C-alpha cells in the first residue's frame, strides 16, 4: 500500500516537472521563432540544458553520499554545474549586447533558462531519497 502511494506521488511529481520543462523550452522557442526576433542563435542554450546535470550525476556516482559531509569530488561537480548555469545565462546576454539577438529574445531565453534549471534542481531534490532510484521506471 505504501509503495503504490509513493509511486503515484513520484509519477505526479514527474508529470509536473515535465510540464515545467516544456514551459521553459517553449520560452526558448518563442525567443527564436517570433516574427519580431526570427533568429535561431539562442537555441545553442540547449547544449547547456544537457550538460548541466552531468556533473551532478557523476558526483553522485563517485561519492558515497551526496548529502553527507563535503568532499572534493562533490565540490568540483557543484563548481562545474554552476559554471554551466552561469554560461547559459551569459550567452544570451552577450548575444544581445553584440546585437545578434534582440533584448526581448534575451529576456525570453533567460526566463526559459530559469524555468528549466529550476526544473532540473527540482528533479534532483524530489528524487534525492535513497529509496527511489533514477531507473525506477
- Complete DSSP assignment for 92-135: HHHHHHTTSS-HHHHHHHHHHHHHHHHHHHHHHHHTTSSSS-GG
Total domain count for the chain?
Answer: 1
pLDDT, residue 66, reads: 54
pLDDT higher than threshold 70 for residue 1 = no
Domain annotation covers residue 4: no
Domain annotation covers residue 57: yes
Q: What is the mean pLDDT of residues 47-57?
A: 91
Q: Which three cell numbers stand for residue 84?
A: 554551466
**CA separation for the pair 128, 67 (Å, rounded):** 9
Domain annotation covers residue 102: yes
Domain annotation covers residue 91: yes
- DSSP secondary structure letter of residue 35: T
Tell me: the pLDDT tens digits for 31-48?
A: 999 999 989 999 999 999
Q: What is the mean pLDDT of residues 103-111?
A: 96
**Residue 129 lies in domain:** 13-136
Domain annotation covers residue 77: yes
Domain annotation covers residue 37: yes
Amino acid at each position: 500500500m505504501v509503495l503504490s502511494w509513493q509511486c503515484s506521488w513520484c509519477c505526479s511529481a514527474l508529470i509536473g516537472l515535465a510540464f515545467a520543462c516544456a514551459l521553459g523550452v517553449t520560452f526558448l522557442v518563442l525567443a527564436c521563432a517570433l516574427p519580431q526576433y526570427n533568429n535561431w542563435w539562442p537555441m545553442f542554450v540547449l547544449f547547456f540544458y544537457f550538460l548541466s546535470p552531468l556533473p551532478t550525476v557523476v558526483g553522485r556516482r563517485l561519492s558515497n553520499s551526496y548529502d553527507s559531509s563535503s568532499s572534493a569530488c562533490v565540490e568540483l561537480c557543484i563548481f562545474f554545474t554552476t559554471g554551466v548555469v552561469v554560461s547559459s545565462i551569459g550567452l544570451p546576454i552577450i548575444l544581445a549586447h553584440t546585437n545578434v539577438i534582440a533584448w526581448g529574445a534575451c529576456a525570453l531565453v533567460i526566463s526559459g533558462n530559469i524555468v528549466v534549471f529550476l526544473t532540473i534542481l527540482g528533479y534532483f531534490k524530489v528524487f534525492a531519497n535513497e529509496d527511489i532510484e533514477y531507473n525506477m521506471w
